[in-house]
Structures are given as C-alpha cells and as structure tokens.
Amino acid sequence: MQIILKEDVEKLGNIGEIVEVKRGYARNFLLPKDMAVEATAKNLSQLEHHKRVIAAKIKRIQKESETLADKISQISVTLRHRAGEEEKLFGAVTTMEIAEALKEQGVEVDKRKIVLDEPIKRLGEYEVAVKLSGGVSAKVKVAVVAASE
C-alpha cells in the first residue's frame, strides 16, 4: 500500500515522501495517528500544495529544534546515585532519569530522544546525545555523583 507521510517516521521516511508499507501497518498505526494519508490520485494531486505547507512546517520545526539544542547544550545535569567500591553504581543511570532532570531545569525532552551508547554504571562526567526533530542533535553534560547516605 502506498502512503504519503505527514510526519517524519523513524526507519520509514520523512515528511512528504511517498512510501510503500504493509496494509496493516498503514491502517492500524499510521492512518489513525494522522501520520500519513493514503496515496490516492486526489491525495497525490494535493501533495504539491502540501509540500509547500510541509516545507514551512519543516523550517519551523528545525528552528525550534535548534533553539532547544542551544538551550540543552548549556545545561549541566547532576544525578546522585549510590555507589560501591571502585566508584561503581548500584544499578545504572537511565534515560528516564536524565529526562526528568532536564524537565526540572525547564527543558522537556522525551526519554526516547536521549541516546546512551552504553549504560552509565560509574561515577563521573559524561556527555549524552539528545536527538531532536529535524535532524538536530545536542549534547547534555551529565555528572553522576555519589549519594550521601
């Protein structure tokens, strides 16, 4: 089934692209969430108009993402964790913890947009990537310190 994407869909395509997907994926996920429309003759003719609208939307999203990336790059997050010998943590720092710490500082980021190459399991300072919309990414400084008991 051919569809026209109305939003960026990871591992599928970007706004305005015509892609081939299975019927079930389109009918049960993409169409109900208004992420795509079916690629009918009428919708294809409207695509040209939508491309102009979509281009404006992409510019706006990218500008907002760049502003957010600048804000995120200036933030430093401190997380307190219990640690044992050799500065090893009991457990690991999760993306949810980082997202909550960013939210406390006034920046709301979805935990799925935070990218940890490997789990943080030691005390120290780390740079964690945050992938935003429009292909923009930022780095947030995360300091993991021992919790005083």
Nearest residue to 72 (alpha-carbon basis) of 124, 115, 108, 111: 108
Provide the token pair at 81. Answer: 């964790």
Q: Are residues 56 and 79 in the same domain?
A: no
CA–CA gap between residue 58 and residue 56 (Å, rounded): 5
- 124 vs 86, 133, 147, CA distance in Å? 12, 29, 13
Which pLDDT does position 22 carry in this prediction?
94
Which residues are CB-contacts of 88 (< 8 A; sequence separation ≥ 6)? 121, 122
Average pLDDT, the chain: 88
Per-residue DSSP letter, 19:
E
- Residue where a domain stops, chosen among 63, 84, 114: 63
Q: How confident is the model at residue 149 (pLDDT cuts 50, 70, 90)?
A: low
Q: Are residues 112 and 85 in the same domain?
A: yes
Q: What is the CATH number of the domain that holds 115?
A: 3.10.430.100
- Residue where a domain stops, chosen among 29, 63, 97: 63
Q: Are residues 114 and 86 in the same domain?
A: yes
**pTM: predicted TM-score of the whole model, two decimal places:** 0.65
Q: Are residues 75 and 141 in the same domain?
A: yes
Q: Are residues 92 and 141 in the same domain?
A: yes
Q: Are residues 74 and 113 in the same domain?
A: yes
Q: Please state the domain count of the chain.
A: 2
Q: Are residues 141 and 79 in the same domain?
A: yes
Q: Domain range for residue 112?
A: 70-146
**pLDDT more than 90, % of the chain:** 37
Which pLDDT does position 57 carry in this prediction?
82
SS3 content of the chain, % helix, strand, coil (to 5): 40, 30, 30
Q: What is the CATH number of the domain that holds 55?
A: 3.40.5.10
pLDDT digits (tens, 9 = 90+) for 6-57: 888 888 988 888 899 999 999 999 999 999 999 888 888 887 776 788 788 8
pLDDT digits (tens, 9 = 90+) for 78-121: 999 888 888 888 888 989 999 999 999 888 888 888 999 888 99
